[in-house]
Amino acid sequence: MTDWNLSSLLQGLHDDIHKRLDIARTTMGDMVAKGDTSETIWLKLFQEYLPLRYRSEKAFVVDSRGNFSQQMDIVIFDRQYSPFIFKYEDQLIVPAESIYAVFEAKQTVNKGFIEYALDKVQSVRKLYRTSLPIPHAGGTYAAKPPIDIVGGILCYESDWKPALGEPLKNVLNTNSGGLDCGCVAAHGNFFYNKDQKQYEYEISGKPATSFLFKLISQLQYSGTVPMIDITAYAKWIK
């Protein structure tokens, strides 16, 4: 009989993320270093545990009309069907068509951070996305409409008490649906239910693990990104 225990494994995953975020918050005196470390911790979580069809990086997003987003802390994008990625030194730029989700990461959540994150998420969502008909053995499928880009926030603590109480809910509801999800690793997470048009909150003993599983489920329901029109980008070659 095996000695493996699934509950213990999932608890260990959460404890690892929680501990690393806590160390970054309590031991680093420089705010920039705290922020960078927090981003790295979340990024590594996605890189290690999301299915391989998804790639996670800090990146800018560009569209075929030459418009760029702000730099996002975490961009989850397709690598299987998106052949166009530009990298120069440490700067990564990915096409708008390949985006599944974008996140901003900070140590704590507050009103200013939510509004800041929403502005950055919108800088990605407003980009133009191409979509081509999809050839198959029996003919051609119609061009797929661009998928909804998931936008969210990731942090360890909250400036509010309780962390997922009325102040957080009021800010989110003011921009209802602008952010799809978020995780406050020390307390819980939230997701926007598009059918009910309201946020659902979970106060959990394993917020990071729970959030990861829910995010994977949401990405699965997003399906596959549309077929990119690479010739639209080629027009910029002069």
**Which residues are catalytically annotated?**
73, 104, 106
- Taking Cα atoms as reference points, which of 156, 206, 148, 162 lies closest to residue 182? 156
Structure tokens at 128: 């133009």
Residue 68 is classified by DSSP as B
How crowded is residue 81: how many other Cβ atoms within 10 Å of its Cβ? 13
Q: Is the CB of residue 34 less than 8 Å from the CB of residue 28?
A: yes
Quick count: other Cβ atoms within 10 Å of Cβ 197? 9
Helix (H) or strand (E) holding 166: helix 166-174
d(CA 76, CA 98): 9
Give me the helix-helix angle, 207-222 and 31-49, nearest 10°.
60
